Structure 1
Amino acid sequence: MSHHMTKNHPDSPNGQDDISKNDSGNPTIHEIIDIRLSRRGLLKGGAGMVAGGFMSMGLSACVSDSSKTATTAKGFSLGFTAVAKSLNDVLSVPTGYTASILYRTGDPINGATPAYVNDGTDTAASFDFRAGDHHDGMAYFGMASGGSGMDLNNSSRGIVCMNHENINQQFLHTAAEAGVGFSTAARVAAQIDKEVNAHGVSVIEISKAGGTFSVNTASTYNRRLTAASDMDIYGPARGDTLMVTSYSNAGQKTRGTLNNCAMGITPWGTYLTCEENWAGYFKRPASGGLSAKMATAQNRYIGSSSSNGSYGWANPTGGDTSGTGLYDRWNINLTGADATADYRYAANTFGWVVEIDPFAPASIPRKRTALGRFGHEGAMPAPAVAGKPVVFYMGDDSRGEYIYKYVSTANWSSADVGGGLAAGNKYLDDGKFYVAKFNSDGSGSWVELNIANPTISGYATYAFANQADVLINCRLAADAVGATPMDRPEWTGVNPSTGDIYITLTNNSDRGKTGTTTGGKSRGLDAANPRYYSDLKGAATQTGNVNGHIIRIRESAKDHSATTFQWDIYLFGAEAGADATNINVSSLTADNDFSSPDGLWFSRAVPGLMWLQTDDGAYTDVTNCMMLAALPGTMGDGAATTITNTAVPANGNANQTVATIAGKKATTDTLRRFLVGPKGCEITGITETPDGQTIFVNIQHPGENTALADVASNTTASFESHWPDGGNARPRSATVVITKNGGGLIGS
């Protein structure tokens, strides 16, 4: 067998999402119920080669042994041939499909910005008008064909909003700069500026001509929002004491959106970008230098050890001479007389869902504080129903963190379609904010996080001042009410056919270990997080929930504003050859086995078709990261299941048998590999045209494991990847356009 222990998230240089900061001591289900213990390169296929231009981009089509067509009750079939696992530096798609490159790191978004040189010499200022790095979550918004404005049914012209989560630092700068290195204690200001500008969001107009999509660089809608752009703070935390900085003494503004990972869309036609691993960027004090309350909050979100931050943005050589705190804003040490004179609370202005209006290019994005502050992995809505609240589901991507939802006070009215940020004020600034608790019998509840709850207002660990404090420090509020810690909750999605909610739980190397975390948090197993096992990646033994799983929720009476639900585990990630009873519980085969589910997205054009993407380091000795198509069935289509977890002598944990509820076993009729990416990448972000005949997929950080020394010496042969440009080129993140040859629904 292959496999490894959970890797640090590639987009978090200090591994923020793979480090548990949940020191609440909340009991897991294991501690609440009586869990029984026991001892037990080329496009290939029938058509041959395609145009040579695809070969230079490393695009291929692949075949494997499975070519069955599956038919569902809804009439849609998975009709493509499963793509084989691959370690090649190419993008593999099924026979009969074509993939082309739309938008790469550094590509200009206007006619005045020159083509990207891709050798590190492109300027920091130019990244205000170039694609950022680490393409991630994205969404397509149809535009009117003949003019301006929205036409959400247009499949030939649209705006794509796209996140740029992080950077491949070694490829962003010159070989000479790489040779010097990037000490976080002293940074060149121009390097910081480039890295800051390579983060954020792209808003680009695209259109199709001759069957091919391209970026319209003449569009007035095109813009970049970076980690330095103006942002407004809205919702209950706007103007709160804990949001005050030297930049905004009123606590109503901040600069930048950061580590934008997954996303969401709103029923009124705006884009939600979600700030995930923002915590690691800040220069922070040791907790011993803070008040007890500040130390508790910092430890829960950022950690107790002092640090210069992931990239040392607070430490330009010679200090911050900008006169505007451009670099000092990354320093949350107490350097001034009070919060109006320093940036001690700057980190509180990150970790939010941020609303962007793609059709109003002069508008300032709004951070929506009613949706809570944590490591946001998206904010996906349930289908909007007239006269009912608008509901969003969210995961907090770190070991032992929680699943949340937001329910608006206002009821949905279709009159608000096209209402922009004003509609956002109506629905996103006033509502109820909940955290999930999972019970062992397959039931669960949503607990509102509100200062009126005496369990929160009287929490001994942290004294909440008001509702703004609850939202700013909602992890602590969730600790207080006993929410269920999960195995890195990431993307959420709502099946438009059934209303069921799906949440990817990527993995957890802590799950099942003996004892507790440093803060006293149990690592025990429970029904909703039931697996602990050992696995190999090469000669290395990995332990915990190595491959992750996907949990599924059905709200009571299928009402998304309900406060109770039922749940099961839709799918367990595993290698095909793993123990079928206790690890490969979903009966995965060579055509659909996977590890570390991350991106999860439901098609709008084909209700019930789900796309599943991986961010893996556990199975990468066998295959690069991938995307699968799924027809996931319905809540309750499986059965009660017993999993016996194997002890690892080095860990000393006793074997445990855990009762859980598993969904129906997968087959190649219901789950099939559609795409495998190039070396070192993560597959993340997907959207489609309204007709379902074009999908857009992001290939993030190919070649990310390339050594800094190899870049410094320009030893291109040692680069992990050269995708998508090929040859000796530095690799780049890129958006890929995938169509079916001859037309038709993708996946059919």
Structure 2
Amino acid sequence: MTDQHYLDENYDMNDSGNPEFFELLNKQMNRRDLIKKTAGGAVAMTLAASLTGCGSDDNDNNNSAPPATETPNPDVDLTTRPSSLSFTPVEKHTRSEFTVPDGYDFKILHAVGDPLNSRLPVWDENRIPSGISYDRRVGDNHDGMTFFGMNPSTLKYDANESNQGLLVMNHEYIQRSDLHPRGSSFSDSSITEDEVFREVNAHGVSIVAINKNPVTQAISVDLDSEYSSFNRRITAATVIDFAGPVRGTDLVKTAFSPDGTSTRGTINNCGNGYTPWGTYLTTEENFNQYIARQGDVRDAETEYAIGTRYRMGSNASGYNWQSITDPQLTEDKTLFSRWNSIVSGTSATRDFRNTVNTFGWIVEIDPFDNRQRPVKRTALGRFAHEDCRVSRAIPGQPLAFYMGDDSTGEYIYKFVSDAVWDPKDVNGGYAAGDKYMNSGKFYVAKFDFNEATGEATGEWLELSMSNPSITAYERYKFKDQADILVHARIAADAAGATKMDRPEWVAVNPENGEVYVTLTNNSSRGSSYPTDAANPRRYADDDDASGRLRGNINGHIIRFREPDADVTATTFTWDIYLFGAESDSIEDVNLSGLTDANDFSSPDGMWFDPRGVLWIQTDDGAYTDTTNCMMLASLPGAVGDGSVQNAKSGDGTQKTPTGAILDDSKLRRFLVGPKGCEITGVTMTPDYKAIFVNVQHPGGTWPANQPGHLISTGRGSRPRSATVVITRKDGGVIAGETLEPSKA
């Protein structure tokens, strides 16, 4: 979730009164070992996913030496988590450079506009490609991302394969002045049809075939081999099916799909997830920003739902895509008119009044199947989805999908499948998705804390018509489960969930099943939203001359554990794993004891690799006077390993349960991005020898100003969002130095 200005209060819309599955690795492995070694997020060792170098903007980074010509083969157990981190912590900086630790190298793999087919011309800023061609080019503002290994014989998902695979990534939104030929003179009031096509196609998801050299670890985009046939785009114009309880209901019927079984497009794709059976989950976040609804006033209940809780008022103008009323490049006028969500016909099947209800879902994509349509999984609820992570895949047990709603004062959710996991469903595609994601129970989280005993507990509140708090809610009268899912925020209000400081990415610890959630920040915490133990800090930034930085400025990461790691449990215990802070903050702000080697602000992207290393990324506007956004590596303990502390809460304090203090052997900075960017999206190859991250909305002329690191073919001065791949110069395991005998 991009946060260039610390907080956008437009995301504050809650006015309620509520306070992997690997092939068993070893057939002799016992159940306890299986649970421990099953990968966080769902696929045990299956999906790997999911610089101190100096110089000016015009100079190459000093980490640009070519990879080793021979790969050492140290005796490293890839299933073992490092006991400590020993790479050199990357220093904070505000340069227009991407920097990684000594001994590591990076390459810019591809950037916005790069072709996914060798027959297309390369991106050229002096001859920007046509808008229509962007449905075969890499999209803009790269975000969540997962690597899927591909078996070279079957061309199917292979959890063990690191040398060829599909890199699947989101494109959250667009940098309009950098995307179009007219650049900074662009105005949406005069947007052209070609520009609309470019913007629509630059959203969505890219599927990119890549190869890794097993000797040098060098990564390349595959544009010509048999694997390149998998390269494709899912955009804001792609036809997508509905599945689950909302499919076919009146709430999603439109002129495009009068029977409510399909829709067109996915937008504002931020965080991501992946399934044990080998499919990708993309999330639809701030969809309300795209849709026009000018002068359209409906009944009070509908206005509360659409305007207040889903933030699309009667004067919404969207991106003005609906202004193309006489298209010349297509005969399908609904490509544009569908973005106008007003009542204009005699029924919902004759207009697009329900367009707003067709976005805000989890979308399943099978990267290995380009014949069937992607699917919007409605049983998982509709809100500003930031991320979706699956519990550990344990045979005979249900799967849980954990999700955050990235808006101020919104909630943390989970969906628990009725079906129990069967490893035979690997490569089951959308049929497996139907099995595990269409039927189950939907919950929202409530956090409690007993100050007298220091006990931190929580409850999962079911969102269904069997919950009397929902059926008796006065502000909105729910008709059925489909209504609850479409208006999940209102159902969570009714149930009494805890308002959180912008829940963003979720991660599942592969060692113990504990769930981590980033809470990025909230300038209104302590004012519009009183502090509580789960959101305890209100403070000011003494370095901020404008005085605008108040509330929960730097964010935190909360985590919880369900009893016996049972995902069907309706209770949990919790603490706050880390508090973002500047290293020189006062003690009751810097509760995690961060130092110059690991201080950070506004945690956003987050992912456990299958070993149990937690990668934390930032999207910050509060600490950027000192450092650009970054990614850190950490080695967590467990819920309850710390103590109760007093957090600064305005003029007083708030007691809160905190995790153990981590020194820089357990938490340290792995990279810093170029000025102006967000670091987001993280995934690895299963051999842990290549790690991928995304650089979103960089400033200056990056990545062109680091030419020695470019694989991407386009050149020019415009800043471009891009995917970066990082390897060790000696060909070793990422963050695995302490596991190697010669370096232990």
Render the CA deviation track for 1:534-575: whole Å, top value 9, x for unaligned: 114542211010000000101112212211000000000000
* SS at structure 2 position matched to 1:557: helix
Aligned to 2:269: 260
**After the TM superposition, which of the residue ranges 548-557 and 637-646 deviates more from structure 2?**
637-646
Partner-residue secondary structure (3-state), 2:693: strand
Alignment of 1:439-478 (within 5 A): 439-441=448-450, 442-478=456-492
The CA distance in 1 between the partners of 2:591 and 2:253, in whole Å, is 50
Map of 2:163 onto structure 1: 156
Who is 1:407 aligned against? 416
Q: 2:634 aligns with which of 630, 635, 658?
A: 630
Task: Name the aligned partner's letter for residue 727 of structure 2.
Answer: T
Q: For residue 584 of structure 2, what is the aligned residue in structure 1?
A: 577
Label 1:619 to 1:10 Cα distance change in 2 as closer, same or farther (>3 A).
closer
Pick one of 95, 108, 116 that aligns with 2:115.
Answer: 108
Mapping 1:418-433, distance limit 5 Å: 418-433=427-442
Partner of 2:575: 568
Measured in 2, the distance between the counterparts of 1:227 and 1:332 equals: 16
1:680 corresponds to which of 676, 679, 688? 676
Measured in 2, the distance between the counterparts of 1:616 and 1:296 equals 31
> What letter matches 1:90 in structure 2?
E
Q: 1:385 to 1:721 in 2, by over 3 A?
A: closer
Q: Which amino acid is the alignment partner of residue 307 of structure 2?
A: N
Q: Deviations along 1:501-551, whole A, 9 cap, x unmatched?
A: 1000000011101xx4xxxxxx11100000000114542211010000000
The residue aligned with 2:149 is 142
Tell me which residue corresponds to 2:72: none
**CA distance, structure 2, for counterparts of residue 619 and residue 493 of structure 1:** 24
Q: CA deviation at 1:390?
A: 0.8
Query: Is residue 5–residue 621 contact of structure 2 (8 Å, CA) maintained in 1?
Result: no
Partner of 1:613: 617
Q: Which residue of 1 aligns with 2:31?
A: none
Say if 1:17 and 1:159 are closer, same or farther in 2 by CA, change over 3 A.
farther
Task: Give the alignment of 1:508-657 within 5 angstroms.
Answer: 508-513=522-527, 516=528, 523-536=529-542, 538-541=544-547, 542-580=549-587, 582-604=588-610, 606=611, 608-646=612-650, 655-657=651-653
1:720-735 equivalences under 5 Å are 729-735=717-723
Q: Which residue of 1 aligns with 2:46?
A: none
Q: 1:666 aligns with which of 662, 665, 678?
A: 662
* Structure 1 contact 120–172 (Cα < 8 Å) conserved: no
Structure 1 position 291 matched with structure 2 position 299: yes
Q: 1:9 aligned to 3, 6, 14, which one?
A: 3
Q: Distance in 2 between matches of 1:387 and 1:147?
A: 27
- Measured in 1, the distance between the counterparts of 2:83 and 2:733 equals 9
Instruction: Report the Cα distance in structure 2 between the residues aligned to 1:57 and 1:351, rounded to whole angstroms.
Output: 41
**What do residues 696-738 of structure 1 show as CA deviations (whole Å, max 9, x unaligned)?**
11111102xxxxxxxxxxxxxx768855659961111111111
Distance 1:536 1:224 in 2: 46
Query: Could you say which residue in structure 2 is the equivalent of 1:235?
Result: 244
SS at match of 2:496: coil
Q: CA deviation at 1:328?
A: 1.2
The alignment's TM-score, normalised by the length of structure 2, stands at 0.87
Change (3 A) 1:85 1:722: same
Q: Deviations over 1:267-318 (max 9, x none)?
A: 111000011111111112467x111221111124443643453421122376
Counterpart of 2:257 in structure 1 is 248
Q: Report the CA distance shift for 1:168/1:54 in structure 2 as closer, same or farther (over 3 A).
A: same
Alpha-carbon shift at residue 188 of structure 1 (Å): 1.4
The answer (yes or no) to whether the contact 1:702–1:732 under 8 Å persists in 2 is yes
Specify the alignment match of 2:363 in structure 1.
Answer: 354
Q: CA, structure 1 residues 243+385, in 2 after alignment: closer, same or farther (shift >3 Å)?
A: same
User: Residues of 2 paired with 1:238 and 1:499: CA distance?
Assistant: 32
Q: Is 2:14 the partner of 1:22?
A: yes
Tell me by how many angstroms 1:120 deviates: 6.2
Deviations 1:568-592 (A, max 9, x none): 0000000000001x11010100110
Match of 1:33 in 2: none
Letter in 1 for 2:685: T
Distance (Å, rounded) in 1 between the aligned partners of 2:80 and 2:419: 36
Unaligned runs of 5+ in 1: 1-6, 28-41, 62-71, 517-522, 647-654, 704-717
CA distance, structure 1, for counterparts of residue 197 and residue 8 of structure 2? 22
Partners of 2:311 and 2:159 lie apart in 1 by 43
Q: Aligned-pair distance for 1:18?
A: 5.3
Give the letter for the 2:314 counterpart: S
Q: 1:327 aligns with which of 336, 341, 344?
A: 336
How far apart, CA to CA, are the structure 2 residues paired with 1:595 and 1:91? 18
SS, match of residue 209 in structure 2: strand
1 CA distance for matches of 2:473 and 2:705? 51
**Alpha-carbon distance between aligned partners in 2 of 1:255 and 1:56, rounded to the nearest angstrom:** 43
Alpha-carbon distance, 1:174 to partner: 1.7
CA distance in 1, matches of 2:63, 2:476: 53
Structure 2 gaps, min length 5: 20-50, 66-78, 451-455, 737-744
How far 1:643 sits from its partner (Å)? 1.9
Distance 1:58 1:733, change over 3 A: farther
Q: Cα deviations across residues 308-344 of structure 1 (Å, max 9, x unaligned)? A: 5342112237689854411111111111111111111
Matched, 1:393 2:402: yes
- Cα distance 1:408–1:678, how it changes in 2: closer, same or farther (>3 A)? same
Q: Which amino acid aligns with 1:490?
A: E
Normalised by the length of structure 1, the TM-score is: 0.86
Contact residue 89 and residue 722 of structure 1 kept, 8 A = no
2:188 is aligned with 1:183: yes
Q: Cα distance, 1:392 vs. partner?
A: 1.0
CA contact (8 A) 2:536 2:648 kept: no
1:743 aligns with 2:718: no
Offset of residue 642 of structure 1: 1.5
User: Does the 8 A contact of 2:394 with 2:421 survive in 1?
Assistant: yes
Q: Distance in 1 between matches of 2:518 and 2:590?
A: 17
| Letter paired with 2:499 | P
Identity %, equivalent residues: 49
Q: Is the aligned partner of 1:314 residue 2:302?
A: no
Shift in alpha-carbon separation, 1:619–1:59, aligned structure 2, 3 A: farther
Of residues 485-494 and 74-83 in structure 1, the stretch that sits farther from structure 2 once superposed is: 74-83
Shift of 1:44: 4.3
Per-residue CA distance 1:466-507 (angstroms, 9 max, x = gap)? 100100000000000110000000000011012111000000
Deviation per CA, 1:609-668: give whole Å up to 9, x if none: 10000000000111100000000111101011122323xxxxxxxx23211101111210
User: Is contact 1:270–1:358 with CA below 8 Å preserved after alignment?
Assistant: yes
Instruction: Assess, with a 3 A threshold, how the Cα gap between structure 1 residues 267 and 728 changes in structure 2: closer, same or farther.
Output: closer
Identify the residue that residue 43 of structure 2 maps to in structure 1.
none
8 Å CA contact 2:108–2:703 kept in 1: the answer is no
- Partner Cα distance (2:2, 2:295) in 1: 23
Secondary structure in 1 aligned to 2:732?
coil
1:744 shift after superposition: 2.0
Q: Structure 2 counterpart of 1:373, which letter?
A: R
Please say if residues 167 and 199 of structure 1, whose CA atoms lie closer than 8 Å, have aligned partners that are also in contact: yes
Are residue 487 (structure 1) and residue 501 (structure 2) matched? yes
Q: CA deviation at 1:144?
A: 1.0
Q: CA deviation at 1:166?
A: 0.7
Output the CA distance in 2 between the equivalents of 1:202 and 1:609: 26
